Amino acid sequence: MDTTGHHHIVEASGCDPEVLGDPNLIREIFLEAAKVGNMDVKSSYFFRFSPTGVSGVVIVAESHISVHTWPEEGYAALDVYTCGAKADPEKAVDYILERFKAKYAHVSEVRRGIKEEENTFTHTILTWEESLRINGE
């Protein structure tokens, strides 16, 4: 079995605070993002903090989609990690950013589980920034 995985670590800024504060809406967004990214959903759990913020995870056969939000800052820390060749984590990330109405994203893609000599493993990192257009703006 191939150990290589793709871990997208996203700093999403300028997001809609209403979305970031709603665990049920975020669950809905993540479940649809898993479909968009061709992932097989196994379980999910979301928690609303007091007075604000949400943490949640969708477990997929390929690994996970997770988030912690700060609605008062319009900020979400998002992770999408998948193993294997079937899933498309970048499509899932793009869908989530669109639904969060993010205006900016700093993305790092960590290619993990790269097998080296003597049964050791390493990773590589690619980072980019995006200014996002919301609804044609």
- Catalytic site residues? 63, 68, 83
Q: Is-contact 92 80, C-beta < 8 A?
A: yes
CA 89 to CA 91: how far, in whole Å?
A: 5
Q: What are phi and psi of 7, to 5 degrees?
A: -115, 110
The reply to whether omega before 17 is within 30° of 0 (cis) is: no
* Alpha-carbon distance values, 100 to 49, 66, 95, 106 (Å): 18, 14, 9, 14
Strand 63-70 with 75-83, pairing: antiparallel
Contacts for 17 with CB less than 8 Å, ≥ 6 apart: 71, 72, 74
